[in-house]
Amino acid sequence: MREIVLIGQDTTCYGEDLGIKDGLALLLERLAQIPDVRWVRFLYAYPNRITTKLLETIAAHEKICKYMDVPLQHASPDVLKRMKRGAGADIFLKSIEKMRRFVPDITLRTSFIAGFPGESEKDFNILCDFVREAEFDWLGVFGYSDEEGAKAFSLDTDTKVAPRVIEQRRKKLMEIQQKISKKNKKQFIGRELDVLVTGESDETDLLWEGRTSMHAPEIDGKVFINDFGPQGELHEGRFYRCEITESHDYDLVARIIA
């Protein structure tokens, strides 16, 4: 078994129904002891539930991916309140600082909704400033759309943001993130990383694709392999030691070295 991925609406709640404190940290510790597992990863954690014990556990075990997916949705306290969520940019930044302090090489992913009903220009600017300061490794932005049955669907139509404005805001956030990602990816050139090869590239048969522990399956960028080095051929599902030779906005290019 190459990788175990734990997925839940809020994985940090694991064990609460059984009265177990820091249940996720305990589970990760046990999974990290399985000999044949190379990576252990969990997705979707709420910042107010990311405990010191959990961060210490991630930092202490090589098999636990230094990766945190925290779906924040927004950074403006007013918008988050309308979403029935708490906190805001200042609290989120403190949480991010703590995560990076305890796990220096941690990869952070989040997602936001642009154009939630009632989102003002001021609210959106708060979100933009937060994205610039937080410098997430991976970020997804979704434009708000009405969904019948959701609480936001019944909000007063006067608070709804025009679809054209929603798309403009979504694009602006992604442009901000693109610059951040391009800058951060350049720092990996020359580094050696373990890459899990996932198969031939869909783009061209001259390249193979893979991902590192910084890449969750199917949602993050890719590592393109254009030089097999000492390997005559590659095998899907195997790990190879690679050197990063190029970087792009979201993807990396690598050569096999072992």
Q: Is 225 within 8 Å of 195 (Cβ atoms)? A: yes
Confidence tier at 258 by pLDDT (50, 70, 90): confident
Query: How do residues 213-247 score in pLDDT, each as one tens digit?
Result: 999 998 999 999 999 988 888 999 999 999 999 99
* C-alpha to C-alpha distance for 239 and 151, rounded to whole angstroms: 45
**DSSP bridge partners of 254:** 225, 244
Residue range 146-155: mean pLDDT, rounded: 59
Whether 207 has a pLDDT exceeding 80, the answer reads yes
Residue 100 pLDDT greater than 70, yes or no: yes
pLDDT band at 2 (very low <50, low <70, confident <90, very high): confident
The pLDDT assigned to 151 comes to 57
Chain position carrying tokens 């990788």: 3
Q: What distance in Å separates the CA atoms of residue 214 and residue 221, rounded to the nearest whole number? A: 9
193 pLDDT band, cuts 50/70/90, is: very high
Q: Is the model more confident about 159 or about 183?
A: 183
At residue 187, the pLDDT reads 95
Contact 183, 138 (CB under 8 A): no
Give me the mean pLDDT over the 58-85 stretch.
96
Which of 29-33, 45-49, 194-198 shows the lowest per-residue confidence on average (mean pLDDT)?
45-49
Mean pLDDT of 176-205: 94
Minimal CA–CA distance to 220: which of 198, 191, 242, 243?
198
Residue type, position 229, single letter: G
Q: Residue 97 is encoded by which pair of tokens?
A: 């600082």
Report CA-CA distances (Å) from 99 to 67, 69, 122.
10, 12, 28
If pLDDT is split at 50, 70 and 90, which confidence band does 153 have? low
Give every CB contact of residue 175 below 8 A, 6+ residues apart in sequence: none
The more confident residue out of 152 and 106 is 106
Report the candidate in 193, 204, 203 with the shortest Cα–Cα distance to residue 239.
Answer: 193
User: How much is the CA Rg of the chain, to the nearest whole Å?
Assistant: 20
158 vs 119: which has the higher pLDDT: 119
Residue 231: its pLDDT value, please? 85
- What pLDDT is stored for residue 157 in this prediction? 62
Contacting residues for 242 by C-beta, under 8 A, at least 6 apart: 192, 193, 194, 195, 210, 223, 225, 254, 255, 256, 257
Q: What is the average pLDDT value for the chain, to the nearest integer?
A: 93
Cα(185)–Cα(103) distance, rounded to whole angstroms? 19
What would the two tokens of residue 108 be?
């952070």
